[in-house]
Amino acid sequence: MCLTALSVAANYQPPPLDDVIAADACGNATAGYLPSLQVGSFARSAYFDCFRRHDQVFAFVSAMLTRVPGLTTTNFTIGQTLQGRAMPAYTFSLSPSPPKKLVYIQALQHAREWVATTSTVYALARVLDDVLLKVYEWCIVPIVNVDGYVATWNGDRYHRKNMRPFNEPNASSLAFGVDLNRNFGPSTSFRAEADETTEVYPGTAPYSEPETLAIHTWLQAREPQSIVGALDVHTYGGWVLSPFGHQDDEPSPPFGNALATLANVTRRAMGPTYLNQRSVQLYPVYGGFGDYMYLLYGAPALIIEMDGHDFRAPSSVIRPRGDELYRGVITYRCLSPAADGDSKRCKREALSKLTDKFTLHRGRLHKLVVPVDTSKCNKENVPPKVATDQPLDVDAAPWAPKAKQHFRVVTTDDRNYYVAALYTLTNNLGLGHETVHMAIDLLDRFLHVQPITIQWLEVVSIACIWIACKFNETQAALESLRVKQILQQRHRRGNWSWHHVLVIECQILKRLGFRILHPTMLSRFQKLPAMADMTPTQLADAHYFIDLTLMDASFQSFAPSDVLEAVVFLTTEFQPRQNFDFEGLEPRLREPLTCFFMQHLHIQQALADGEKLHKSLHCKHGAGMSATWRLTTSTAPCACRICTMAPVA
């Protein structure tokens, strides 16, 4: 271990953030809650008025468990952290014998996810208040990453990993650490990563960190058949995720469908803002805790991402998030395998019965969770079973072309293609210019914060159109244009329904923090003083170039002011027959100008080839533009809504 790096980690103390100061102030104002604790009122304790430091969390959990009559409790240290701190854990049940089956729950593998711990402790308080402890023995680890949690209270509020330093003398402690949720085994699900500074750095080997090794050692000491459930609590996003995270294959029948059903029923209990799917469909997770529990112990493990739109949250969310997790835990407890009989048979039979019980639910939601047809008559879409010890590589696996497409992460080219289709659809619907730009801006912002696979892109695009329509268009206009009916018809080309659009709409708004209004290139252009002096032809040219910024994601890498200056230059100063010193322009203008020239040539070529995706650009701008930039097309006069409702001539 590098002593210089340790020194940097020890000396780096950025100022605490506002929520840390507020949490400490709240904690001081609500001190003295422990003596009044009693069964039936744990969840009403003033403890849950604030976020608490690690020692207060452990003291409160211990105090609760000692106040439940007849409860057999063991408070123990499951291990030591990298910096030598204790990792308290708690096992409890209503009867010491016979030996019960274990449900294991842990939280805060990632240090900045404070709501994960508060939700877990609150759900535990509700469980103890209701004395819902029969059948199972429970084990709770409220804070796995104790070192990282302490660091978030000392200034590194957004720190994610544990506190392992690496050999970089000038490194900030913000970059230190190993992602504990990438550090579990078995070796077939683990994938090494050379970049130590990445937030998902998995360490040098499975269980290389004392935190994960301690959990693994403790679980290995138990009979594998005794572990019948596991929950790993995170934040934020509103997801209930089932295995696998390290490969695209789902668990073998009947467990794949049964686990998806268990996740579906659990998320329904937690509330309408939660969604469920396999972990890999959100993003790949190699060396994750959920896969570890399922592969080594056969436990129906779920990863729960609590609802929210930031790692920092007000203390007012503590109880609502805790209630959601409580409902999920109780549903999971009721539907997981029973605690008697042979464990392997018990798990298989219980999960099979669960699948039968919720066949209609699973059947209706199948498109949203895995939107591919896996029926026997359409075998090209069935994910392949690869006989190898290595994790499944989506790009290298022998998938049929159509199946491989479904699980490919959206690229810039995919985005550009769908934006062109989105632009065509919104314009052909007769929607306003602001609505078009808002819809594409929503799509870009969502893709920036939430990587998705190609199977989701169409329904996400439709949801963005619908959000923009409801925000900008009047109800009368939407009804007269039959916007909803036309958008609903799009599902015939994709494996989704209007219900999925509404669910995805909620997810988009949540991930964007419900910030619908956002400066677009169009809104910035409309505030330019130069716009008032432009002629109608120049305005038509300018709006054409503003729309071109939607078609290519490259424009997002330039400063908006530079892009707008390039637009003004192209519409008011540029003369193609005159020589001008292109190299003499500032680089900040040369680069967006080059993108405009290339995009314009591409559009012209696409129109000459009869490409429908770009025909709406001609219908909307072509006739009104200057001869310099006028779009021409070889097609006959058009009768689309753009031409019939607002002809530009």
Please tell me the predicted confidence (pLDDT) of residue 503.
Answer: 84
Cβ atoms of 553 and 412 within 8 Å: the answer is yes
Q: Which of 521, 516, 561 is nearest to 542 (CA)?
A: 521
Please tell me the predicted confidence (pLDDT) of residue 343.
Answer: 39
Structure tokens at 631: 């779009």
User: How confident is the prediction for the chain on average, in pLDDT?
Assistant: 80
pLDDT band at 424 (very low <50, low <70, confident <90, very high): confident
- The residues near 91 (Cβ < 8 Å, ≥ 6 apart) are 73, 74, 76, 102, 137, 138, 139, 140
Q: Is 485 exposed, middle or buried (0-12, 13-18, 19+ CB in 10 A)?
A: exposed
Evaluated on CA atoms 209, 212, 215, 219, the torsion sign reads negative
Angle between helix 498-511 and helix 454-472 axes, rounded to 10 deg:
80
Whole-number Cα distances in Å, 358 to 257, 259, 327, 353, 354: 11, 12, 18, 9, 6
Please tell me the predicted confidence (pLDDT) of residue 517.
Answer: 86
Structure tokens at 32: 């003295």
Q: Which of 579, 571, 565, 580 is nearest to 600 (CA)?
A: 571
Q: What's the CATH class of domain 341-364+408-518?
A: mainly alpha
Q: Name the amino acid, one letter, at 344.
A: K
Cα torsion at 531, 535, 538, 542 (round to 10°)?
Answer: 30
Name the strands in the sheet holding 227-235, side by side, starting at the edge strand that comes first in the sequence.
72-80, 86-93, 136-141, 101-107, 227-235, 301-306, 239-242, 275-278
Residue 220 belongs to what H/E stretch?
Answer: helix 210-220
Cβ atoms of 406 and 314 within 8 Å: the answer is no
Please tell me the predicted confidence (pLDDT) of residue 87.
Answer: 97
Cβ atoms of 238 and 308 within 8 Å: the answer is yes
Q: Is the pTM of this model over 0.95?
A: no
Q: Name the amino acid, one letter, at 602.
A: H
Boundaries of CATH 3.40.630.10 in the chain?
68-339
Calpha distance 369→459 (Å, rounded) = 13
Bigger pLDDT: 124 or 429?
A: 124
The single residue of 211, 305, 473, 505 carrying the catalytic annotation is 305
- The residues near 333 (Cβ < 8 Å, ≥ 6 apart) are 103, 132, 135, 136, 229
Please tell me the predicted confidence (pLDDT) of residue 318.
Answer: 95
Please tell me the predicted confidence (pLDDT) of residue 401.
Answer: 47
Residue 229 belongs to what H/E stretch?
Answer: strand 227-235
Decide if 324 is catalytic.
Answer: no
- The residues near 458 (Cβ < 8 Å, ≥ 6 apart) are 418, 490, 493, 494, 496
Boundaries of CATH 1.10.472.10 in the chain?
341-364+408-518
Calpha distance 591→558 (Å, rounded) = 8
Q: To the nearest whole percent, how much of the chain has pLDDT over 70?
A: 80
Structure tokens at 312: 């920092």
**Would you identify the CATH topology of the domain 68-339?**
Aminopeptidase (3.40.630)
Q: Which of 395, 511, 499, 398 is nearest to 453 (CA)?
A: 395
Q: To the nearest whole percent, how much of the chain has pLDDT over 90?
A: 34
pLDDT tens string 253-288: 778 888 888 898 899 889 888 888 899 888 889 999
Please tell me the predicted confidence (pLDDT) of residue 362.
Answer: 29
Bigger pLDDT: 88 or 472?
A: 88
Q: Out of 106-120, 372-386, 436-450, 549-563, which region has the weakest mean confidence (pLDDT)? A: 372-386
| pLDDT of 507 higher than 60 | yes
The DSSP result for 55-109, as a single string, is: HHHHHHHHHHHHTSTT-EEEEEEEEE-TTS-EEEEEEEES-SSSPPEEEEEEE-S
Q: Out of 244-258, 327-341, 350-364, 568-582, which region has the weakest mean confidence (pLDDT)? A: 350-364
pLDDT tens string 135-187: 788 999 999 999 999 999 988 888 999 999 877 666 566 678 999 999 999 98
R_g of the chain, CA atoms, integer Å? 28
Whole-number Cα distances in Å, 189 to 222, 241, 247, 377: 22, 17, 8, 31
Cβ atoms of 567 and 528 within 8 Å: the answer is no
Evaluated on CA atoms 441, 235, 152, 218, the torsion sign reads negative
Burial 80-119 (b: 16+ CB within 10 A, else e): ebbbebebbbbbbbbeeeeebbbbbbbbbbbbbbbbbbbb
- The residues near 277 (Cβ < 8 Å, ≥ 6 apart) are 239, 241, 242, 260, 263, 368, 369, 370
Residue 241 belongs to what H/E stretch?
Answer: strand 239-242
Structure tokens at 73: 């409790």
Please tell me the predicted confidence (pLDDT) of residue 168.
Answer: 67
